[in-house]
Amino acid sequence: MGKSCCFTLDEHPEIIVCAFTISNDSIKTLLLPRSRKDKVIKAIPRQKHMRSYPAVLIGRLGVHKNYRQFGDDEQRVGDQLMDFIKAWFVDNANKTGCRFIVVDAYNEQRPLHYYKKNGFVELFSTEEQEKEYTDLPKEKEIDDLDYGMQTYYILECCGCESISFRTEYIDYLKAQYEETDVNADSNKTIAIYPKQLKNRKELSSIYYLPARIQDVYEQTILALKGDSRLLAAVGFRAILEAICIEEKIKGQNLEQKINNLVKNRLITEKEAERLHTIRFLGNDSVHEMEIPSDKRLYLVLDIIEHLLNN
């Protein structure tokens, strides 16, 4: 299992400047060529020589392309991030229990240059050597393998400390067919549980709402999280109906009920105009089977939550 950490802007915490994922790993010296094995153990006292050394694996590491360097900082953000990781190993409170950091970097100039610049040493001099000592498949054996890779993560938000489970499937066959980088987003299928709203939280004060409104709101949010946009649109309309029932607002249809909310001074004329847009949205979804966009639904959610907060 890996642990992910991210750094955000103080003024815009929704913007991630850089992030990394680490997990437990090891260096098995039995798999290494003699010259590489000597390089690993040369600084370790003889009596502590082992066949396997615990290590921390950097599984993912990235920096936002717009924040690779801040102002007059001499050191780039990527190098500062690596210094932050390294500091764990020299700190007196080091909890890793390891003396090694390892990474399985892409065999490309930019990532290799970055890791070498930050003190990493290649364990293998060629890809063929790595395949020979680690039993990685040769090119001709690829056709006999699964055409994808499933990875699982348990994530903890550095802000609210909530826990999520993430699955990521990389489709090798699609990448080969479309001639794209295997790690491109177009080749990945990502799912996160429990499902979340996009870039926002639901109401925290929901338990102060009447039970009927609370139930409809919760079911509507579940539909929105599950990308059931048609059901979410109908749910927003149902929330308006539930509010009218709670406030004992009469009317032959929802249009009249919204207008009567104004007459009873529960909402303003301006707010009524916004509620009518929700009514139209619900009508289009129910009668015309018109599926609204995410953008439109989240605008409606803003209106609904403003109304419920008041």
Same domain membership, residue 151 and residue 240: no
Residue 89 lies in a domain: yes
In a domain, 50, yes or no: yes
Strand partners, 52: 28
Would residue 199 count as lying in a domain? no
Count up the domains in the chain and report the number: 3
Reported residue count of the chain is 310
Is residue 130 located within the same domain as residue 229?
A: no
Q: Are residues 218 and 255 in the same domain?
A: yes
User: Same domain for 216 and 238?
Assistant: yes
**Domain span at 279:** 206-309
Per-residue pLDDT of the chain (310 residues; tens, 9 = 90+): 678 888 999 888 888 889 988 888 887 776 677 777 777 777 676 645 566 778 888 888 888 888 888 777 678 888 998 998 888 877 777 667 777 888 887 777 888 888 889 888 887 777 777 766 665 545 444 444 456 778 899 988 887 788 889 998 887 666 655 656 656 677 788 888 888 888 788 888 888 889 999 999 999 999 999 889 999 999 999 999 999 999 999 999 999 999 999 998 988 899 888 888 898 888 888 788 888 898 999 999 999 998 888 7
Same domain, 109 and 74: yes
Is residue 228, in this structure, part of any structural domain at all?
A: yes
Task: Please tell me whether residues 284 and 163 are part of one structural domain.
Answer: no
Amino acid at 23: S
Answer whether residue 100 is part of any domain: yes
Quickly list H helices, 127-268: 127-134, 172-178, 211-225, 229-246, 254-263
Query: Are 132 and 149 members of one domain?
Result: no
Give domain status of residue 293, yes or no. Answer: yes
Binning the chain into helix, strand and coil, the percentages to the nearest 5 are 45, 20, 35
* Cα gap 202→193, rounded to integer Å: 16
**Domain harbouring 88, CATH code:** 3.40.630.30
Residues 9 and 90 in one domain: yes
Q: Please report, for the domain that includes residue 285, its CATH number.
A: 1.20.120
Could you give the CA distance from residue 239 to residue 202 in angstroms, rounded to a whole number?
15
On whether both 159 and 131 belong to a single domain, the answer is no
Q: Within this chain, do residues 149 and 64 fall inside the same structural domain, yes or no? A: no
Final residue belonging to a domain, choices 86, 103, 136: 136
Residues 250 and 271 in one domain: yes
Do 110 and 224 share a structural domain?
A: no
